Structure 1
Amino acid sequence: MKIALLSYSTKPRGGVVHTLALAEALAVLGEDVTVWTLGRGGDAGFFRPVDPAVRLRIVPFADGPADETVGARVLRSIATLRAAFDPTPYDIVHAQDCISANAVDAACIRTVHHIDHFTTPELAACHERAIVEPYAHVCVSTAVAVELADGWGIEAAVIPNGVAYARFAGTDPAARARWRSRLGRYLLTVGGIEPRKGSMDLLEAYALLRAGHPGVRLVIAGGETLFDYRDYRSRWERRAAELGVEPVLLGAVPDDDLPPLVAAADAFAFPSLKEGFGLAAMEALAAGVPLVVRELPVLREVFGPAARFATTAGDLARELAAALTDDDQDRRTAGRELAARHTWTETAQRHVALYRSLASDRSRLSAR
């Protein structure tokens, strides 16, 4: 099959990581795969090298005016990708986000990674169209599929993410040692500072944790996003100053540096308020790092006995302290085994089966 996978960015966000890994796994299975995306800020490539078996179509997307709103940027993103994309050569068009689904006029399969609730009118409309108009849907967890069914009456195929297990489980000891030398003992989270990631709760939890673990640092990696979280970031920084804590903000980390950064952490914090799967947290389990996550149905489903769970900032502080002090080999073993079961090969195989089923159904309908 000729398959087009569409994303909205070249940056290292969860949906983009998913898109590239799925594309490469599909290509290994012999499928003809092209990834389409927008090259924001002059980007001519993705945040990491991509298997040359996967074709790349990166559509230039110039920076807008300094006063461009998020809504205007979303509309311009949709229009730019729509103008460049031709669906004619493809048997399957599979959009990974609301921008790309809107760009192909919803004549696509859509992966709903998680369900958002936007207040920006343009984003809210984009989100709604990208849910109701595609002819088929994929969710990466049952919990999100249930949300989709309850909210819109849509039945989705559930195909969990894979994880690059070997990449995180077998990191170079020298690379890990370099991170330890630079940062000392540290808690890590990946995803930047934004409301959905529960950044404020993590900050409060870290301040509580330091009373018993003054030498442990909080390290925050990542943060590439389409949205404008400057107000939230300012509130977060003011609160950090009030609490007297200074987390280490690494920003976007080079792709080769991420696995040893994760593996060298003493614990991984994942206090997100909204998730569809938790790929970064699964990577931490692959690295054998103790994991503390938010008490959410989706994270209970995905991580079960492999993680510790917390609801409030106080809970989070207690569970992170326990992760730092308890030598819980059973939980670490369960985490590694769980991560190892989530292969991109199986994810790709299940996508191919879905694609073929949908193509067959559409052929039969067209013949009537």
Structure 2
Amino acid sequence: MKIALLTYSTKPRGGVVHTLALAEALAAAGQQVTVWSLGRGGDTGFFREVSPAVALRVVPFPDGPADETVGARVLRSIAVLRKAFSQSASSYDIVHAQDCISANAAGPCIRTVHHIDHFTTPELAACHERAIVEPHAHVCVSGAVATELADGWGIKADVIPNGVAYDRFSTTDPAARDAWRQRLGRYVLTVGGIEPRKGSLDLLEAYALLRGPHPDVRLVIGGGETLFDYRDYRARWEARAAELSIEPVVLGPVPEPDLPSLVAAADAFAFPSAKEGFGLAAMEALAAGVPLVVRDLPVLREVFGPAARFATTPAALAGELSAALTVPDPARRTAGRELAARHTWEAAAERHLAFYNRQGAVSSASSR
């Protein structure tokens, strides 16, 4: 089977991590897989090495004018990717887009809806809507998102959860972990950058409360590569940090080889996202055996169940983080490791292949 997987970036965002891992698992299962993406900022490859069994097509995406809006950049992204991909689209048995930009660019396709956004910018809202209603089949990474899709659009999606690189996060180098601890001391980690969807302001408020009982614990923030402009939100976050007299450690994007040891060396992992489809970074923390505190959302209850602690407010988040830092919980830790170990990319690839074959059968039946 010739499969094209399309994503919008080469940077380490959740959907891109998903795309590459799924592509490698599909290729390991004997399929011919090509990943298509835009290469922003001069990128000619992805943030990590990709199995040579996967073909890569990184389409150059030059910088726009200095005053280019996010909406205009999104429309230009779609146009550039569509022009490049349209020349090869007919050669694939399966075209599978992983986000709204690539779904708009791909033409007739399967779409994975990782989570549902709510945009107010007209261009983004229109692109988001088209990327939901125009694909001929849909996958969601959790039942909660599939329910949103059914309730909001009457669309039935197959649910295929993410995998996780369990071995990579569960067996990290002790020397690398020690290096992070020597550099940072004790710390609560979050990965995903500073942006509204990640609940960054709530985490800041929670950390200010956490410092009372745990003055030696730092807040460390990794990741943050994004297409969108969150400068205003970041400015509010920095102003509030100054008001609270706290100085979180903002690492920015972390080199891929260094990420597992950074996660494994953390004393707790905070995941206060306001909207998620699965929570891949949080699942990686469970693989590493790190106590996990997440926002109490239906999707995160579904995915993490007894393996996580849940909180709805900054005060509750601080309380659960404090408990995670002080109260040993081997049962929850074991549950987390077992949960992460069950989420393999091999299983995800098998379910995708079954889904693709069903789509082929439907197409053949409809053509008759």
Instruction: Return the TM-score normalized by structure 1.
Output: 0.99
**Structure 2 counterpart of 1:228:** 229
**Residue identity opposite 1:155 in structure 2:** K
**Structure 2 counterpart of 1:168:** 169
**Structure 2 counterpart of 1:92:** 94
Deviation at 1:341, TM superposition (A): 0.3
* Secondary structure in structure 1 of the residue aligned to 2:358: helix
Q: How does 1:107-186 map to 2 (within 5 A)?
A: 107-186=108-187
**Residue identity opposite 1:103 in structure 2:** A
Between Structure 1 and Structure 2, how many residues are aligned?
366
Q: Deviations over 1:208-259 (max 9, x none)?
A: 0001100100000000000000000000000000000000000000000000
Q: How does 1:1-368 map to 2 (within 5 A)?
A: 1-85=1-85, 86-105=88-107, 107-367=108-368
* Secondary structure in structure 2 of the residue aligned to 1:88: helix
Alignment partners' CA distance in 2, 1:97 and 1:362: 23
Alignment partners' CA distance in 2, 1:328 and 1:350: 33
Deviation at 1:192, TM superposition (A): 0.2
Segments of 5+ residues of structure 1 without an aligned counterpart are none
Deviation at 1:190, TM superposition (A): 0.1
Segments of 5+ residues of structure 2 without an aligned counterpart are none
Alignment partners' CA distance in 1, 2:273 and 2:319: 17
Alignment partners' CA distance in 2, 1:284 and 1:239: 27
Alignment partners' CA distance in 2, 1:3 and 1:124: 28
Identical positions, percent:
80
Alignment partners' CA distance in 1, 2:215 and 2:361: 61
Alignment partners' CA distance in 1, 2:121 and 2:259: 33
**Residue identity opposite 2:60 in structure 1:** P
Q: List structure 1 runs of 4+ shifted beyond 3 angstroms.
A: none
Alignment partners' CA distance in 1, 2:215 and 2:10: 38
* Secondary structure in structure 2 of the residue aligned to 1:94: strand
Alignment partners' CA distance in 1, 2:228 and 2:125: 13
Q: Deviations over 1:268-323 (max 9, x none)?
A: 00000000000000000000000000000000000000000000000000000000
* Secondary structure in structure 2 of the residue aligned to 1:274: coil
Deviation at 1:363, TM superposition (A): 1.2
Q: Deviations over 1:71-130 (max 9, x none)?
A: 00000000000000021110000000000000023x000000000000111110000000
Alignment partners' CA distance in 1, 2:141 and 2:61: 29
Deviation at 1:343, TM superposition (A): 0.3
Deviation at 1:158, TM superposition (A): 0.1
**Residue identity opposite 2:184 in structure 1:** L
* Secondary structure in structure 2 of the residue aligned to 1:68: coil
| RMSD (CA atoms) | 0.4
**Residue identity opposite 1:7 in structure 2:** T
Alignment partners' CA distance in 2, 1:307 and 1:202: 16
Deviation at 1:11, TM superposition (A): 0.2
Alignment partners' CA distance in 1, 2:181 and 2:106: 46
Deviation at 1:338, TM superposition (A): 0.2
Alignment partners' CA distance in 1, 2:82 and 2:8: 11
Alignment partners' CA distance in 2, 1:64 and 1:249: 27
Alignment partners' CA distance in 1, 2:266 and 2:204: 17
Alignment partners' CA distance in 1, 2:124 and 2:105: 13
Alignment partners' CA distance in 2, 1:67 and 1:289: 43
Alignment partners' CA distance in 2, 1:131 and 1:111: 9
Alignment partners' CA distance in 2, 1:109 and 1:268: 33
Alignment partners' CA distance in 2, 1:30 and 1:216: 47
**Residue identity opposite 2:362 in structure 1:** D
Alignment partners' CA distance in 2, 1:165 and 1:104: 32
Alignment partners' CA distance in 1, 2:190 and 2:270: 5
Deviation at 1:324, TM superposition (A): 0.2
Deviation at 1:364, TM superposition (A): 1.4
Deviation at 1:366, TM superposition (A): 1.2
Q: Deviations over 1:38-64 (max 9, x none)?
A: 000000000000000000000000011
Q: Deviations over 1:154-212 (max 9, x none)?
A: 00000000000000000000000000000000000000000000000000000000011
